[in-house]
Amino acid sequence: MLTESNVVFYLPTDYFYISAEESPFEIDKEICICYGNKGNEELLYLYGFVIDNNLDDYLMVHYPAEAIQSVPFADSKAQLLEVQKAEMRCLLPRSLLERGFFPPSLSHMEDNFMFSNGRGCNYSWSGQRKIPSYLSKLVFPEDFLATLRTIAMKKEELLMVSTLLEELVGSEEGRQPSDNEARAAAWEACGDSGALQLLVDLLQTKMMELEQGSGTEAYDTELLEGRHIMDPERHNEGGEKFSRNRWSSIIYRRGQKQLTRLFLKEAEYVLQLCLSEES
């Protein structure tokens, strides 16, 4: 609330000031702020509430760094990942789904058909591998796919990458391949199938972890039906009442399960397209 004194209010979570003498607000009137386009994890952490069916929600997917040591040819792959400045995790905003094969809303399909995911410059310099037909609809970030591509490489693919990079920089003494050159060589050697299979595995594992101990997305929906948050002003309403914390946790975990299911559907479909083109 504003007072008659010239007080500066500090809002630590949004990092800006409001001055009473500079504002257009009336004295003793409530001030409203915009929370911004935030996912439920941020809203819950910063403000203590969540939004059901939050259009700004996102999913975090990551490959455990410690798991690199257990993959075949771990040392060689670790060196290649370092050259690529590899991203071991990625955020998948819900909005990405509008660009994919199964958008929740069909209104954006035509507008986003030519979405290229920023990968055009990374393709084959020898012409041996064609640009995939699914590129315009691929919703997964190239930086993360490049990481998974390297982790999933087979022995012969790793040797091919090494040969390609040696040919590229061999005539220039002391030059090291750039991160884009290393990614291009990796794609030339193995394409997307290994990376997409690994992505499917990661999303399936994430879904199992989300459902462990809390059930399915459908079960969360069933829990919420006919129930509302405990509120003194709503004491006459029927139905079971949940504490705000319990209600928020169910909304949050249901949203994460929903996003995992939707992105998994995208990954599985693109994997099938990729395998059909590589066969």
pLDDT digits (tens, 9 = 90+) for 12-60: 444 444 554 555 667 788 877 788 889 999 998 888 889 999 999 999 9
Report how far residue 248's alpha carbon sits from residue 243's, in angstroms, rounded to the nearest whole number: 9
- Residue 205 forms part of a structural domain: no
Of 74-83, 219-228, 265-274, which gets the smallest average pLDDT?
219-228
Average pLDDT of every residue of the chain: 82
Report how far residue 97's alpha carbon sits from residue 266's, in angstroms, rounded to the nearest whole number: 8
Q: What mean pLDDT do residues 110-127 have?
A: 46
pLDDT at 1 over 60: no
Q: What is the pLDDT of residue 55?
A: 93
- Residue 232 forms part of a structural domain: no
Q: Would residue 54 be called left, alpha or beta, if left means φ above 0 and alpha means ψ between -120 and 50 degrees? A: beta
pLDDT at 120 over 50: no
- Residue 221 forms part of a structural domain: no
- Residue 279 forms part of a structural domain: no
Q: What is the pLDDT of residue 167?
A: 85
Domain identity same for 78 and 167 = yes
Of 31-40, 78-87, 146-155, 267-276, which gets the smallest average pLDDT?
31-40
Domain identity same for 81 and 122 = yes
Please tell me which residue, 136 or 171, carries the higher pLDDT value: 136
pLDDT at 119 over 60: no
**pLDDT per residue as tens digits for the range 185-195:** 999 999 999 99
Token pair 């290649």 is found at 80
Residue 19: which domain range? 8-46
Which residues fall within 8 angstroms of residue 89, CB to CB, at 6 or more apart?
60, 61, 62, 63, 144
pLDDT at 62 over 60: yes
Domain identity same for 117 and 23 = no
Report how far residue 115's alpha carbon sits from residue 101's, in angstroms, rounded to the nearest whole number: 12
Percentage of the chain beyond pLDDT 90 is 55
**pLDDT per residue as tens digits for the range 214-242:** 999 999 999 888 766 655 455 545 556 77
Domain identity same for 67 and 131 = yes
Q: What is the pLDDT of residue 19?
A: 52
pLDDT at 158 over 70: yes
> Among 174, 194, 214, where does a domain finish?
194
Domain identity same for 88 and 119 = yes
Report how far residue 123's alpha carbon sits from residue 183's, in angstroms, rounded to the nearest whole number: 9
Domain identity same for 107 and 159 = yes
How many domains is the chain partitioned into structurally?
Answer: 2
Q: What is the pLDDT of residue 242?
A: 77
